[in-house]
Amino acid sequence: PSWLVCLRTNLSLFFPQILLCFSAVKSFSSPAAPLISSASRRSQATAAPRHSTMSNNIAMEEEDGFGAKKLFNQGFSYTYDDVIFLPHYIDFPTDAVSLSTKLSRNIPLSIPCVSSPMDTVTESHMAAAMAALGGIGIVHYNTTPSAQAAFIRSVKSRRVPIQSSPIIFSPDSRIVNEFDDPAVPCVLVTESGKPNSKLVGYVARSDWSGEKQGAKLSDYMRPADESLVVPSNYDLDKLDSHLKQQERERDFAVLAEEGGVVDVVTKEDVEKVKGYPKLGKGTVSSDGSWMVGAAIGTRDSDKERLELLVKAGVDVVVLDSSQGNSIYQIEMIKYVKRTYPQLDVIGGNVVTMSQAQNLIAAGVDGLRVGMGSGSICTTQEVCAVGRGQATAVYKVASVASQSGVPVIADGGIQYSGQIVKALVLGASTVMMGGFLAGSTEAPGQYVNKDGTRVKKYRGMGSLEAMSKGSDQRYLGDKSKLKIAQGVVGAMPDKGSVLEFIPYTMQAVKQGFQDLGASSLPSAHELLRSQTLRLEVRTGAAINEGGVHSLHSFVKKSF
């Protein structure tokens, strides 16, 4: 009726939930609206007794929730917390759920987790840990090209997710206060005092005493013997065995490769990793090395950066831009695919179908979705552009799936349920910044702030980050006036990603089980077929869905 359409139009300006209610009422008053499948209609019509025409219509028109296509075409921008999936049918155990997926056309992953290319999230330690878990890390480019390439080489050269940043001196050097840090097990001595030089000796913590402070290292260092050094491609079991054999002499080993020192690993490091959930094979390339990605920009200078990254062994590149639908990115996509045809390139960021179509036509192997949804991002406030992340992921994935292009849901992840929503709505992976920031593997040092142990976490659009070069990401590197699109903050110590990511993935599996989806492809098919149903949540429903009505509580995820 016309009065219903008019009322619906006016109320929808203010209340998304009211719009959905009136959609259902209108469908109820119009037998032509297909609210449930024709098969369901036939089965209900056969099974239900014909008491009256009215009761028959009610039985046939009632339904649970909405299909994704109907829900996300109402003109509202929904984020993850705005929507909720309704449970489906379970006929398999949780352990039968597979989270195997693809980052891009040619990069398979065991888990759908990607660390964000932010300078307070992903450098070599985080990238190595993500690869060990079966995900992948994307190293940031807010540094020099040579330093970024060094991060890539560091990941490719090791087989254990342990990093210590060893102290290395030349024989003529003198120790001053290096052993003041209790985490330093030794000082290594190479011919030139640099990692890419021959190891000639070491000074263990147990050998150090204050009276040696003024003496040259060559006067009292221990010579490097064969038992000190192990190949950098030793895995955790081999390292554990070696350290047990050498424990009487020392509690550390030096990882080395041809040309220099890679790292120092202690017995304590190995025992700590062994105490985490068991690691699988990880994400490895054809040569057995861990896979790692890197971010680059879209300027001509990034072509030189890319050359160094390719020589270092990078497996995939991400064109890092807050708004990826630009001539600059399209030209860079074509350049990468033309110059390095075997290298996968991921474009973005995008939030609309038209943006996605442009980058797909240019030749991307993956799409990064999200604009202004990160916890430290202010793009939506400053620029008045963006989209709710749930809507963005669904819309972009609906287009990308037609071309076989995987989608990365980038931003807005705070807990496991939001990962479930992102993946079921069409994403193949989730890219996380704040979720991983503050962990052991994140760059930076811990400090105490108001009694809490924290690490810095900053948006790449913050003025602090842009002063290091990230303003290119916002196409502002040539502007005299810098406008911040992010903030600088801090994240509490979360422990190691090697511990909390496996528990998070187990929670995601349980979410998939509740939805009756045993894999990502099956979840996407259930969504496309409208078998999975969604509803919009009111503020009261969101509140009810969390912890409430308690005087106090302690919330532990595992």
Examine the residue annotation and report whether 186 is marked as an active-site residue of this protein.
no
Please, what is the Cα angle at 329 between 327 and 331, to 5 degrees? 65
- Check the annotation: does 383 bind a ligand: no
Q: Please give, one letter per residue, the 3-state secondary structure of 276-297.
A: CCCCCCCCECCCCCECCEEEEC
- Check the annotation: does 426 bind a ligand: no
Per-residue DSSP letter, 262 = E
Return the structure tokens found at 236.
């955790």
- Residue 447 has φ and ψ, to the nearest 5°, of -135, 160
- Check the annotation: does 370 bind a ligand: yes
280 close to 134: Cβ distance less than 8 angstroms: yes
- Check the annotation: does 126 bind a ligand: no
- Check the annotation: does 434 bind a ligand: no
Return the structure tokens found at 296.
């680059």
- Check the annotation: does 322 bind a ligand: yes
Among 158, 305, 458, 473, the active-site one is 473
CA atoms within 13 A on the CB side of 76: 22
89 close to 98: Cβ distance less than 8 angstroms: no
- Largest CA-CA distance found in the chain, in angstroms, rounded: 102
Among 113, 153, 368, 377, the active-site one is 377
Examine the residue annotation and report whether 533 is marked as an active-site residue of this protein.
no
Return the structure tokens found at 330.
């399209």
- Check the annotation: does 302 bind a ligand: no
Sort 74 into a burial class: Cβ within 10 Å, 0-12 / 13-18 / 19+: middle
- Check the annotation: does 227 bind a ligand: no
- The two beta strands, 199-204 and 222-223, are antiparallel
How far is the CA of 403 from the CAs of 62, 356, 392, in angstroms?
A: 36, 11, 17
Per-residue DSSP letter, 66 = B
337 close to 174: Cβ distance less than 8 angstroms: no
CA-based nearest residue to 429, from 97, 80, 71, 108? 108
Q: Residue 489: beta bridge partners? A: 457
Binding site members for K(+): 372, 374, 377
Binding-site residue ranges: 320-322, 370-372, 374, 377
Task: State the binding site for NAD(+).
Answer: 320-322, 370-372
Catalytic residues: 377, 473
